[in-house]
Amino acid sequence: MTENSLPANAGFGIDVGGSGIKGAIVDLDTGEFVGERHKIATPQPATPEAVAETITAIIEHFGWDGPVGITLPSVMKHQVARSAANVDQQWIGTDTQELFGRHLPGREVTVLNDADAAGLAEVEFGAAEAREGAAIFLTLGTGIGSALLLEGKLFPNTELGHMIVGKKEAEKQASSAVKDKKELSYKDWAKRVNTVLEEYEKLFNPDVFLIGGGISRKFDKWSGYLTLETPVMPANLRNRAGIVGAALAAQRGVKP
């Protein structure tokens, strides 16, 4: 893809997950990918150096030389990773600006939490409900990521997936990875999701839950088993939200 063929307002985002690292050029006027995304399996162990090398390979695949947004499954404070979910524990305490400054010299890099990035994308390009009132955006995947939104403004670095519901962390009961591992039916898994959402509902009283992650594509197969008072909706951007949100953050210079 040549530079001349790119939209005027193009950005680049990379989403680091426990099983795959995905990147794409994004049209930031529409939230759509420009061409196909490129995915490489997450290295094991997913150390900072190994992940940075994989990210570099994805950027080189596209020949991209502009600002880059990167999501991590980590709490990010002042561009330092403060947690590590589904990646190597060496990430904790990693200064991401120093790390990517070595691997991507001369490049403007913005790093943010993966669910926060997805929430930003949903506010910009998704359901109107993400921009109005109090919304809880959740990604159901390897774990449960969360973004709290009030009138479209983000309260960053919430970790609702790690909240204890009953006797276990929420994500150890109701992530889509748990559904797959335990070979649960949609009905049985949805009961677990319902239990978790009921706890969030009691504590936060949101106007809406927005559900992202790959399983949101099959929302119709399990949403009918939910019994909450609060409306639950699939997020519009589904599983491309992380990449889009990362590209948005890079464009805006957001550095949590």
Examine the pLDDT at 178 and tell me if it is beyond 90: yes
Mean pLDDT lowest among 51-60, 163-172, 234-243: 234-243
* pLDDT tens, residue by residue, 223-255: 999 999 999 999 998 778 999 999 999 999 877
Position 142 scores a pLDDT of 84
**Of 82, 117, 131, 54, nearest in space to 250 by CA:** 117
Q: How confident is the model at residue 4 (pLDDT cuts 50, 70, 90)?
A: low
Position 86 scores a pLDDT of 83
Which backbone phi and psi does 111 adopt, to 5 degrees? -120, 135
Residues with Cβ within 8 Å of residue 180, at least 6 apart in sequence: none
Position 69 scores a pLDDT of 98
The two structure tokens encoding residue 180 = 């797959």
Examine the pLDDT at 11 and tell me if it is beyond 70: yes
Position 85 scores a pLDDT of 85
- Print the SS3 string covering 102-151: HHCCCCCEEEEEHHHHHHHHHHHHCCHHHHCCEEEEEEECCCEEEEEEEC
Position 231 scores a pLDDT of 97
Examine the pLDDT at 174 and tell me if it is beyond 70: yes
Mean pLDDT for all residues in the chain: 95
Position 1 scores a pLDDT of 52
pLDDT > 70: what percent of the chain? 98
CB count in 10 Å sphere of residue 167: 7
Residue 55: how many CA atoms within 13 Å on its side-chain side?
29
Structural domains in the chain, sorted by start: 3-113+243-252 (3.30.420.40), 127-235 (3.30.420.40)
Examine the pLDDT at 3 and tell me if it is beyond 70: no
Residues with Cβ within 8 Å of residue 12, at least 6 apart in sequence: 23, 24, 25, 26, 59, 62, 64, 66, 67, 68, 69, 247, 250
Position 153 scores a pLDDT of 94
In a 10 Å sphere around its CB, with 0-12 CB exposed, 13-18 middle and 19+ buried, how is residue 23 labelled?
buried
Examine the pLDDT at 39 and tell me if it is beyond 80: yes
The more confidently predicted of residues 22 and 254 is: 22
Q: How confident is the model at residue 43 (pLDDT cuts 50, 70, 90)?
A: very high
Predicted structure pTM score = 0.92
* pLDDT tens, residue by residue, 66-125: 999 999 999 999 999 999 988 999 999 999 999 999 999 999 999 999 999 999 999 999
Mean pLDDT lowest among 94-103, 140-149, 189-198: 140-149
